[in-house]
Amino acid sequence: MYLSAMSRYLLVLTLLLSVGACADSALRTGAEQPGRYLPLLEGGKVGLVVNQTSRVGERHLIDFLRERDLDIERIFALEHGIRGDVENGGRVDDGVDGPSGLPIVSLYGGNHKPSREEVRDLDWLLFDIQDVGVRFYTYISSLHYLMQACADYQVPLLVLDRPNPNGDYVDGPVLEKEYRSFIGMHPIPLVHGLTVGELARMINGEGWLEGDARCDLTVIPVAGYRKQMRYSLPVEPSPNLPNDRAIRLYPSLGLFEGTVVSIGRGTEYPFQVIGHPDDRRGRYSFEPVSMPGASENPKYRGHRLRGDDLRGGDPDERFTLRYLIDWRGRTGESGEAFFSRAEFFDKLAGTDALRLAVLAGKSEAEIRRGWQPALQRYLQRRRPYLLYPE
C-alpha cells in the first residue's frame, strides 16, 4: 500500500537534504530517479498528468510505470495534449490514449480543475511536465488547479521535477492581481526562475490556493542541478517551441502575441523571427502558412512579411524589451493600434504599465527601474521554497 503521510514527510526531508550532496553528480530529472518515487506509488491507484516531455531516458513515463505493474487509472491532459500534437489554444478533448489504452480527461478548455469524481478513487496524482520558466506558459496554471483539486478532495500530489531552461535568472514585471488570468495566476515575475517543484512549494507556502488550502505535496528534486546550469530540452515542450533558441527568446517574443507583429507562427522557426507586412528595415522575409498541429491559422497567413531573423543570436540571451520597443516604430501603425490585443497584452505582461510605458516612449532602462522594488520583494519571498543552489 502507499506510504503514510509521516513516511512521505520523512522521505521528502531526506530528498531535500540530499540535493546538495548530489550537486556534482550527473543531472537526473525526478522521473529518472525511480527508486525515490516507485515505493510511494506501489499498491495505490495513480492518475498521471503527463505529455510528450514525460520521459525516463528514452521511455515515456506512461510505459515505464505500466511495465512496473503500477495501477494507472487515467491520464489528465493539459494544453497541447498528452502527445504534444495540439496547437496553441487548440481543443484538447476527453478520450482514450491510443498507445496505452488509458482514458484521458482534458484539463484544457472549459475545465481546468479535476472534479471530485475524477480524482476521488486515486491514491496519488503524479505531475511530470517540462516547463520553460515563463509566467504565461500555461502548464503552471494547470498545476495550480491540480493542487487546488488535491487540496479540496484530499489526494496527495507527487511532482517529478525537471530543470528550468530559463531558470538562471529572474526578470520582468511581477503580475498585479487585477491582471490575473489563466495565462498568469500568481504574483511572480514574467521570468520567475523556479522549477515546477519549487513553484508548487511556493503556491502551498504562500497560501495562493483558494481558501488558504494546502495540498499534500511531495516533490522529487532533480539530482545534480544548479540554477545556473544551461539545460537543453531533449523533447520539444510544445509545438511552437521547437528548440533551445526559441525557448530562450520566448519570454521576449511572447509579448508580441498582443500586437500586430508576427513572431513566426506558421513557419518552421516560431519564436525565432519577427515580421510585419509593412516593415521596410528588415532584411529577412518569410510567409506564414497553415501548419496543422502547430499553427493552423497563423497571423498573416499567406502574406509575405519582412523583418528580423534571430536564429543566430546569443544562445544565452535573456529577457529584453529591445525588440518590442524597436518594432513599436516599424509597422506604420498608430500607437494604440500597434497593441491590437491590448487586454491580452496586459495579461501577458501582468500589468498595463509596460504597454503604457512603451506608448509613452520610455527607454528599456526607464521601464526596468519600475520593476525593481517588486522584483526584490519576490526574490526574498521565494527564498524558503528553493530546492537548488544558484
Q: Quick one: the chain helix, strand, coil %, rounded to 5?
A: 35, 15, 50
Amino acid, single-letter form, for residue 343:
E
- Domain identity same for 224 and 266: no
- Domain identity same for 259 and 351: yes
Domain boundary among 186, 207, 232: 232
Q: Which has the closest alpha carbon to 291: 312, 269, 311, 275?
A: 269
- Domain identity same for 10 and 122: yes
Domain boundary among 232, 257, 288: 232
Q: Which has the closest alpha carbon to 324: 277, 269, 274, 375?
A: 274
Per-residue pLDDT tens over the stretch 57-98: 999 999 999 999 999 999 998 876 776 554 455 455 667 877
The answer to which of 157-166, 233-242, 350-359 has the lowest mean pLDDT is 233-242
The mean pLDDT of 330-359, rounded to a whole number, is 95
DSSP 256: G
Amino acid, single-letter form, for residue 230:
R
In this predicted structure, what is the pLDDT of residue 2?
A: 43
Per-residue pLDDT tens over the stretch 155-186: 999 999 999 999 999 999 999 999 999 999 99
> By the 8 A CB rule, do 217 and 15 touch?
no
In percent, how much of the chain has pLDDT > 90?
79
- What nine digits make up the cell of 250? 520566448
**For residue 276, is it within any domain?**
yes
CATH of the domain at 104: 3.40.50.12170
The mean pLDDT of 6-10, rounded to a whole number, is 47
> By the 8 A CB rule, do 21 and 227 touch?
no
In this predicted structure, what is the pLDDT of residue 83?
A: 62
Q: Which has the closest alpha carbon to 15: 41, 28, 164?
A: 28
Confidence of residue 321 (pLDDT cuts 50, 70, 90): very high
**All residues at 6 or more sequence positions from 200 whose CB lies less than 8 Å from its CB, including other chains:** 127, 143, 147, 157, 159, 215, 217, 219
What string of DSSP letters covers 138-206? THHHHHHHHHHHHHHHT--EEEE----TTTT--EEEEPPGGG-BTTB-SS-EEE----HHHHHHHHHHT
Confidence of residue 335 (pLDDT cuts 50, 70, 90): confident
From the centroid of its chain, how far is CA 151? 22
**Residue 203 predicted with pLDDT over 50:** yes
**Residue 281 predicted with pLDDT over 60:** yes
The mean pLDDT of 111-130, rounded to a whole number, is 94
The mean pLDDT of 100-117, rounded to a whole number, is 85
Mean pLDDT of the chain: 90
What is the number of structural domains in the chain?
2
Q: Which residues of 265-288 are buried (b: 16+ CB within 10 A; e: fewer)?
A: bbbebbbbbbbbeebeebeeebeb
- Domain identity same for 221 and 86: yes
- Domain identity same for 250 and 130: no
**Residue 240 predicted with pLDDT over 70:** yes
The mean pLDDT of 18-29, rounded to a whole number, is 58
Domain with 268 in it: 244-359
- What nine digits make up the cell of 124? 496519488
The mean pLDDT of 237-259, rounded to a whole number, is 96
What's the whole-model pTM score? Answer: 0.90
